[in-house]
Amino acid sequence: MRKIAVVNMKGGVGKTTTAIHLAAGLAARGARVLLIDLDPQGNVAHALHLRAGRTIDELLMGLAEPADAIVPRIRDRLDAILSHPSAFSLERRLAGETQRETILSRRLRGVNGYDVVVLDSSPAMNLLTYNALLFANQVVVPVGMDLMAIIGARQTLKGIEEIRDLWPERGLKILAVLPTFVNAATNATRAALETLTADPHMGPFLLQPGIRQCIDLNYATANHQTIWEYAPRSRAAVDYTRFIDFVEKGRNDGRQETTC
Ligand SMILES: Nc1ncnc2c1ncn2[C@@H]1O[C@H](COP(=O)(O)OP(=O)(O)O)[C@@H](O)[C@H]1O
Ligand SMILES: [Mg+2]
């Protein structure tokens, strides 16, 4: 089973957007996918207009079984475990647990029937993010085209290094550093892509041209739809399709003609 965590210590870089489109895109192509929101802000539920009786909070506390927390068929072949602001205090409530960084892995041990699990995360190296990274076998790091997003990505890679040192048997791999909010006409984008390309830790994983800036992504979210449902001819739809091609087949052919 592929387990892909979407992480960056910086907020607002497109983590939730990427996690939703990664999960929905792979499900649309026939994979059975579970999308898990590990950010207490609960944005996956907001974006897709979903409600759950039991959330990641109860699952991690051992108060709900996976079957109770899974919201089935939010799209064909796509299930979800949602989050809620109650999860902000999980760190404190799980303080007494042994091996609390691997609680998610243990709680999901009996869950099968999925080809891919996609994990959305919060912009912090907190207990929930550690749990995401210790459950995952691959990481996608979305990076906005500004200095703070790049710093957040560097901090993320440091955190991943730390995890590799502490748990070498986990075999956590970086799948892609994904540029987001790309606008080739601006100096900010050019400078950010140059910095990312030159970075010895991120350059080798940089997936160009990434996801272009596209207002339709905001409208899609406001309508609780994916970009393929809301604006299938938009540049974001094309770019996320190319990203899914890469994740599915390791192919990145750089197609790039459309409107937004
Ligand atoms: N490529 C993009 N172009 C324009 N807006 C985007 C793009 N990607 C994400 N957004 C918007 O930016 C905001 C933040 O994205 P989000 O995925 O929630 O970031 P994060 O989860 O990292 O905080 C959302 O309103 C989203 O719709
Ligand atoms: Mg988010």
Q: Tell me: the pLDDT tens digits for 23-48?
A: 999 999 999 999 999 999 999 999 99
In a domain, 259, yes or no: no
pLDDT of 260 > 60? The answer is no
Amino acid at 87: A
Query: What is the CATH number for 177?
Result: 3.40.50.300
Q: How far, in Å, is the centroid of ligand 1 from the Cα of 16? A: 7
Q: How far, in Å, is the centroid of ligand 1 from the Cα of 14? A: 4
Query: pTM for the complete prediction?
Result: 0.96
pLDDT of 234 > 80? The answer is yes
**Segment 52-82, tens digit of pLDDT:** 899 999 999 999 999 999 999 999 999 999 9
Atom in ligand 1 nearest the alpha carbon of residue 211: 1
Domain that holds residue 235: 2-249
Atom in ligand 1 nearest the alpha carbon of residue 10: 22
Kindly report the protein residue whose alpha carbon is nearest to atom 25 of ligand 1: 218
φ and ψ of 146, to 5 deg: -150, 165
pLDDT of 250 > 90? The answer is no
In a domain, 175, yes or no: yes
Q: How many domains does the chain have?
A: 1
pLDDT of 247 > 60? The answer is yes
In a domain, 258, yes or no: no
Return d(Cα 187, Cα 172) in angstroms, integer. 34
In a domain, 254, yes or no: no
In three state form, how does the secondary structure of the chain look? CEEEEECCCCCCCCHHHHHHHHHHHHHHCCCCEEEEECCCCCHHHHHHCCCCCCCHHHHHHCCCCHHHHEEEEEECCEEEECCCHHHHHHHHHCCCCCCHHHHHHHHCCCCCCCCEEEEECCCCCCHHHHHHHHHCCEEEEEECCCHHHHHHHHHHHHHHHHHHHHCHHHCCEEEEEEECCECCCCHHHHHHHHHHHHCCCCHHHECCCCCECCCHHHHHHHCCCCHHHHCCCEHHHHHHHHHHHHHHHCCCCCCCCCEC
pLDDT of 86 > 60? The answer is yes
In a domain, 192, yes or no: yes
In a domain, 224, yes or no: yes
**Segment 185-222, tens digit of pLDDT:** 999 999 999 999 999 999 999 999 999 999 999 999 99
The pLDDT score that the predictor gives to residue 252 is 62
Return d(Cα 195, Cα 134) in angstroms, integer. 28
In a domain, 52, yes or no: yes
Q: How far, in Å, is the centroid of ligand 1 from the Cα of 13? A: 6
Q: Do β-strands 2-6 and 116-120 pair in parallel, antiparallel, or remain unpaired?
A: parallel
- Res. 251 pLDDT band, cuts 50 70 90: low
In a domain, 256, yes or no: no
**Segment 132-155, tens digit of pLDDT:** 999 999 999 999 999 999 999 999
Minimum-distance ligand to the CA of 22? 1
Cβ < 6 A, ligand 1 pocket: 11-17, 43, 180-181, 211, 213-214, 217-218, 221, 236
Atom in ligand 1 nearest the alpha carbon of residue 239: 1
Atom in ligand 1 nearest the alpha carbon of residue 142: 22
Q: How far, in Å, is the centroid of ligand 2 from the Cα of 121? A: 7
